[in-house]
Chain A
Amino acid sequence: MSHTPSQTVGPYLSIGLPWPDGPFVVEADAPSAFLLHGIVTDGTGAPVPDALIETWQADPDGRFDHPDDPRGAAKGFRGFGRCPTDDSGRYEIRTQKPGPVPGPDGPQAPHIDVSVFARGLLHRVVTRIYFPNEPANATDPVLLTVPPDRRETLIAAPAPDGYRFDIRLQGTDETVFFAI
């Protein structure tokens, strides 16, 4: 059977997609909870105020709350965050750092999968957030497929309240996006 085609979320995605608790992957009092935030910009560097970010990640032990994680569920860790951008193009997710996730050739570096939806995006674009100063980044099988001069776009920057990860849809220092 042939796949149903994708279409843009359009400018009014905030009617149907956000949830009041969407940005909170974890409770505020979860151990080492932090804010992951950033700005989404277009090819001119202008903020994108009608985008939505969705995140998916493992828990701090590197496990997923999903039946296809053969090690068993992560007991209620939602793993999912969803946040529309505001008028200045900013999103903000409260989460915890994921643990290393098993990969085909050994553990992957801690990472968060990200979908970006927006008016003008006919299909979501997908990226990954990695963490700075992480020794495993040097051997991560996905990061190693990215040209060295573009890897920096996938690594969050330390911020006073957590980490900052800007998403540049197009242009100078364009974020690396993945075909999944």
Chain B
Amino acid sequence: MTLVVPGYQRDDAGAHPPLLSPGYKSTVLRAPSQAPILLPHTLTEVTGPLLGEGRVTAADADLTKNAGGEAQGQRIILHGQVRDSDGRPVPHTLVEVWQANAAGRYLHKLDQHDTPLDPHFVGVGRAMTDSMGRYRFVTIKPGAYPWRNHFNAWRPAHVHFSLFGRSFTQRLVTQMYFPDDPLFPYDPVFNSVPEDARHRLISRFDLSATVEEWALGFEFDIVLRGRGATPMEEQS
């Protein structure tokens, strides 16, 4: 069987960090040394897992409550729209998040940072985008935390995001940061991204999403790849 299907746009040259970014030491032994080989977008790449329906409940989007009890820290509402680079919403796609607690500690055996664990905060959430590609989480603002990449290294507060999109080519894992963080100039993970693209990782304080006497709102829009411009005809 012969089949030509419309592919997806390739990555923007200036969007993603180079795999080898020596300032972030863990890249040195893990970044492949050979150049990647161009993979055509066949049916395997233009399809992808459509996950989440029936797997995710509304409660999964509230990280302040999904561990039982009330998480400690500054409550925030984190919302945004997932679109592709043509501006089209990406509906009904799974968004997964994970993060440190308000004291900057992850609920993980390897995180030995000397700040308290919160018995009411696991730090994981899931949500589906709606028909317009919108998602919404209730969580707490994560704390900054030290890591051992270099002397006096501290990660800016961030939330990890994972998205599937509608195809294997749209898969994205990223980190969302908060506005005006004083740690930005010193963080090699944030600064691995080309300078012109770094602002796309920073959420925007959103007064309209802020709820009086309850939580601050932040907006973080995410852009995945768009479809190839010219769908080709099926060949005989």
Complex interface: chain A residues within 8 A of B97 (CB): 16
| Segment among A27-35, A100-108, A156-164 that sits at the interface with chain B | A100-108
Complex interface: chain B residues within 8 A of A170 (CB): 29-33
Shortest distance from the beta carbon of B161 to any chain A beta carbon, whole Å? 9
Docked CA distance A114–B46 (Å):
14
Q: Would you list which residues of chain B between 17 and 35 have a CB under 8 Å from chain A?
A: 17-19, 21, 24, 26-34
Contact, CB under 8 Å: B42 / A104: yes
Contact, CB under 8 Å: B85 / A177: no
CB < 8 Å neighbour of A113 from B15, B96, B168, B197: B168
Contact, CB under 8 Å: A145 / B96: no
Contact, CB under 8 Å: B44 / A56: yes
Interface of B is mostly: loop
**Any chain A CB within 8 A of the CB of B93?**
no
**Any chain B CB within 8 A of the CB of A136?**
no
Contact, CB under 8 Å: A169 / B168: no
Shortest distance from the beta carbon of A84 to any chain B beta carbon, whole Å? 12
Shortest distance from the beta carbon of A53 to any chain B beta carbon, whole Å? 13
Contact, CB under 8 Å: A12 / B39: no
Contact, CB under 8 Å: A4 / B174: yes
Interface range on chain B (Cβ under 8 Å from partner): 35 or more
Contact, CB under 8 Å: B98 / A177: no
CB < 8 Å neighbour of A121 from B30, B39, B87: B30
CB < 8 Å neighbour of B85 from A3, A15, A54, A180: A3
**Any chain A CB within 8 A of the CB of B5?**
yes
Contact, CB under 8 Å: A102 / B27: no
**Any chain A CB within 8 A of the CB of B43?**
yes
**Any chain B CB within 8 A of the CB of A135?**
no
Q: Would you list which residues of chain A between 11 and 52 have a CB under 8 Å from chain B?
A: 11-17, 42-44, 46, 48
Docked CA distance A17–B126 (Å):
10
Contact, CB under 8 Å: A169 / B41: no
**Any chain A CB within 8 A of the CB of B144?**
no
**0/1 per residue, A112-135, Cβ < 8 Å to B?**
010101111111111010000000
Contact, CB under 8 Å: A56 / B168: yes
Docked CA distance A6–B18 (Å):
10
Docked CA distance A37–B62 (Å):
35
| Segment among B133-141, B209-217, B221-229 that sits at the interface with chain A | B221-229
Contact, CB under 8 Å: B3 / A102: yes
Contact, CB under 8 Å: A123 / B30: no
Docked CA distance A80–B111 (Å):
30
Shortest distance from the beta carbon of B110 to any chain A beta carbon, whole Å? 6
A-B interface, 10 closest residue pairs, ranked by CB to CB distance from nearest = A16-B98, A120-B26, A80-B49, A178-B39, A102-B3, A66-B47, A120-B30, A179-B36, A7-B175, A122-B17
Residues of A participating in the B interface, judged by any CB pair closer than 8 Å: 1-17, 42-44, 46, 48, 54, 56-58, 64-66, 68-70, 78-80, 101-108, 111, 113, 115, 117-126, 128, 141-142, 145-146, 150, 169-171, 174-180
23 CB < 8 A contacts A-B: A1-B85, A3-B16, A4-B201, A5-B15, A5-B193, A5-B194, A6-B16, A7-B201, A12-B110, A15-B106, A15-B122, A15-B123, A43-B28, A56-B168, A70-B234, A79-B47, A102-B42, A104-B2, A111-B44, A174-B34, A178-B39, A179-B10, A180-B169
